[in-house]
């Protein structure tokens, strides 16, 4: 039975942080340094699914789980394109999503960056040349970086983002 008293009196529970992944930590530290230098300490990402098979979303979501917890490195996923520095696109661009995708891109303030995540977003993948899709994300707006994979792992996505930071740093 659960009542107010048991909630008050029971031992406070907490969870141990999972074992750290050295590779992720190294990329993360570099990421933090790069974000501090280029983006004024925080990088805001807006995720946009234009027709993925949902595996890429799951991996992007996983970047927020306690193993990666990318907020530590200055990365936040934001709810509106108006708050975003980077648009992270997954999936080939379907005809049914094209208008909404363009609106999302247009709503972002400049300067803005676009990262395509997964084979389908990079060049349309297996759907390329078919009736239902326009192709990769670069068919509707300029893409700054492509992270291939079916889908890429969270570590690969993070590595890709680091490359973007370095590119953006050089452009300044």
Partner 1 sequence: MIADKDIGIRAVQEFLGDDALPDRISSGSNNEHYVLLEEPEFEMAVSHLAANKFVLISLFCCEGFFKNAAHTLFYVFERRTSILVLVRGVNGRATSIASIYPSASWFERECRDGFGVEFEGAFDTRRLFLHETYPDGFHPLKKAFRNAPIVTKETVDPVDEYPFREVSGEGVYQVPVGPVHAGIIEPGHFRFSVIGETIFNLEVRMFYKHRGIEKLAEGKSPRDCIRIAEAVSGDESVANATAFCMAVEHISQIQVPERAWYLRTILLELERICSHLGDQAGMLVDVAFPLGANQFSVLREECFRESDRLTSSRFLREMICIGGLSRDVSRTQLDELTSFVHQMRKRYKIGLKIVLSTASVIDRFAPTGVIRHALLRPLNITGPAARASGGKVDVRLNHPYGIYDQFVPKPQRLRDGDVLSRFTIKASEIIDSLDLIERLIATIPEGDVRSDAPIRDGYTLALIESARGQNLCWVWIKDGAIERYKVRTASFGNWLAIEHAVQGNIVPDFPVINKSLNLSYAGTDL
Summarize as ranges the residues that interact with partner 1 (CB under 8 A): 2-4, 6-7, 10, 13-15, 18, 47-62, 65-67, 77, 79-81, 91-92, 94-100, 104, 126-127, 129-135, 150-151, 153
Cβ(48)–Cβ(90) below 8 Å: yes
For partner 1, which is the closer residue by CB, 34 or 45?
45
Q: Quote the CA–CA distance of 38 and 117 in Å, as a whole number.
A: 22
Q: How far is the CB of 120 from partner 1 (least distance, A)?
A: 8
Reported as type and span, the H/E element at residue 8 is helix 4-9
Residues 6+ apart with CB under 8 A from 151: 52, 55, 56, 58, 59, 90, 117, 118
For partner 1, which is the closer residue by CB, 44 or 134?
134
Q: How far is the CB of 154 from partner 1 (least distance, A)?
A: 9
Q: Quote the CA–CA distance of 110 and 154 in Å, as a whole number.
A: 27
Strand partners, 93: 135
For partner 1, which is the closer residue by CB, 10 or 172?
10
Q: How far is the CB of 118 from partner 1 (least distance, A)?
A: 10
Helix (H) and strand (E) counts for the chain? 6, 7
For partner 1, which is the closer residue by CB, 14 or 110?
14
Q: How far is the CB of 170 from partner 1 (least distance, A)?
A: 29
């Amino acid at each position: 039975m659960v009542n107010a008293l048991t909630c008050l009196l029971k031992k406070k529970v907490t969870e141990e942080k999972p074992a750290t992944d050295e590779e992720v930590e190294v990329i993360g530290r570099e990421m933090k340094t790069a974000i501090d230098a280029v983006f004024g300490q925080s990088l805001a990402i807006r995720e946009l699914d234009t027709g993925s098979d949902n595996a890429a979303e799951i991996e992007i979501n996983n970047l927020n789980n306690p193993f990666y917890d990318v907020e530590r490195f200055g990365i936040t996923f934001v709810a509106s394109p108006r708050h975003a520095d980077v648009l992270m696109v997954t999936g080939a661009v379907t005809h049914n999503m094209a208008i909404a995708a363009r609106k999302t891109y247009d709503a972002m303030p400049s300067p803005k960056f676009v990262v395509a995540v997964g084979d389908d977003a990079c060049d349309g993948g297996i759907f390329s040349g078919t009736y239902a899709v326009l192709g990769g994300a670069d068919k509707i707006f300029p893409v700054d970086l492509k992270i291939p994979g079916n889908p890429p792992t969270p570590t690969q996505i993070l590595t890709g983002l680091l490359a973007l930071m370095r590119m953006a740093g050089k452009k300044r």
